[in-house]
Structure 1
């Protein structure tokens, strides 16, 4: 048995994708519909910068096919604060803003911390307690994108594991690589696409990330990603035989090539 692997990009409105990913002449209002057929997931980034209207979430839900899933970035007003434990009102406001209109197409919520935000165990634990396990009867999956090196310690991972929250696997980036498995799913953002590669990544690199996604989905340890919490045991590496869903986003890097890389990964994983 294996979990489901979903692959996508960040957002869908990006001018350099027109004529490269999107066919020339495609109406802009149909870009999400096109991306929804070519990819299996998209991380919505606009929610990080400001609230969206409930009607927008309903529209996005209706323009994508059955089985498609959106992950959503939590608002920066929630996470870019000195004391995370004081974010309760902001979290409640986010979940009442209309995001639940995505229905069964709502995937994990990514709470991205500022790169300067250091690991304070008590504060992070209090923040995790504020994250709802469900809203209006619908389970909510959460992932933390910690970007300061101080988070690369077993104590942080133990906090996540106790609550079933994932840490973003920041692949091919300047951010700390913390690939430990702490939740019933894995959430990876790979950021190494290059302009000199037609598909963003080389064939060998695409093969490697496809193999890693498949390993996570099958409960095996991915190659080349030693766990912070102990490389020898399945407790952190994911080598426990437990099937997990995987969300893999090609994001950042040479952004113009990200959709091509995502599609090549999907082909490899079929």
Structure 2
């Protein structure tokens, strides 16, 4: 089993992190992604050595114990990063500015991931349209650090009307990344608002072994390198004109949703192009 767990070649730069959403998915078993016969308790151990990041989805639906986070941390290699979706109970709050205690509770637990924690994803689902003042008050609740480590925050919105220059200014003032949703269902804008970028690609096709055509994977490799090198891909939709000549930054790219059974292969194909 040792060879199966050998780490894959690193991405083009340590600041690029590529992965999938979650790691417990039955169709990935039996040789599709996980080797035939691999026991379920070793799936995170395996996945974290084939990919360089995983977005934790379970945190959106329920509370995890600090001991669980510690276990996940210890099963993954140095340099691997988790991101995590903030709990639905927070994101659906009728009064966002009053959710400070819940934010602190969530952050206090997940900080147990230590140096494996890459970013926190705060996702407002379709139909949730916070006013700019309310959103600002909520974002001010997000702590800049936890457990002595800096925290990074990313915001995903699904109401097209919210994507305005005023929103970009709000996020830039707080160094919060605007999530790029590579989707044909949700608004997708790639404006850079922080010292890292966060993309969630949702267009895998079940009929393709790697989920995406080669040309699209090549394009995502180019864009990911641009993000990491400080660039701003001008072939993606923006609210404002792309800004050239930025400083190097970390870049997170996740393949999620859609034909989920193909997402690990898509992530591995992107890593190969970046490596």
TM-score bracket relative to the smaller structure: over 0.9
2:6 aligns with: none
1:247 aligned to which of 245, 249, 252: 252
Check the 8 A contact 1:173/1:190 in 2, yes or no.
no
Q: Does 1:43 align with 2:48?
A: no
Aligned-pair RMSD on alpha carbons?
A: 1.4
Gaps of 5+ in 1: none
Matches of 1:34 and 1:42, distance apart in 2: 12
Check the 8 A contact 1:119/1:150 in 2, yes or no.
no
Matches of 2:196 and 2:72, distance apart in 1: 24
1:4 Cα deviation (Å)?
Answer: 1.2
Question: What per-residue deviation string (whole Å, max 9, x for no partner) do you get for residues 221-257 of structure 1?
Answer: 21421320x22x51xxxx2231010000000110000
Check the 8 A contact 2:24/2:43 in 1, yes or no.
yes
1:82 Cα deviation (Å)?
Answer: 2.4
The 5-angstrom pairing of residues 221-240 of structure 1 reads 221-228=232-239, 230-231=240-241, 233-234=242-243, 239-240=244-245
The 5-angstrom pairing of residues 1-270 of structure 1 reads 4-19=15-30, 20-96=32-108, 98-228=109-239, 230-231=240-241, 233-234=242-243, 239-270=244-275
Matches of 1:194 and 1:219, distance apart in 2: 30
Check the 8 A contact 1:2/1:218 in 2, yes or no.
no
2:7 aligns with: none
1:172 Cα deviation (Å)?
Answer: 2.9
Moved over 4 A (4+): none
Matches of 1:18 and 1:136, distance apart in 2: 35
Matches of 1:52 and 1:183, distance apart in 2: 28
**TM-score when normalising by structure 2:** 0.93
1:6 Cα deviation (Å)?
Answer: 0.6
Matches of 1:111 and 1:241, distance apart in 2: 25
Q: How many residues align?
A: 263
Structure 1 residues 217-226 or 108-117, which shifts more?
217-226
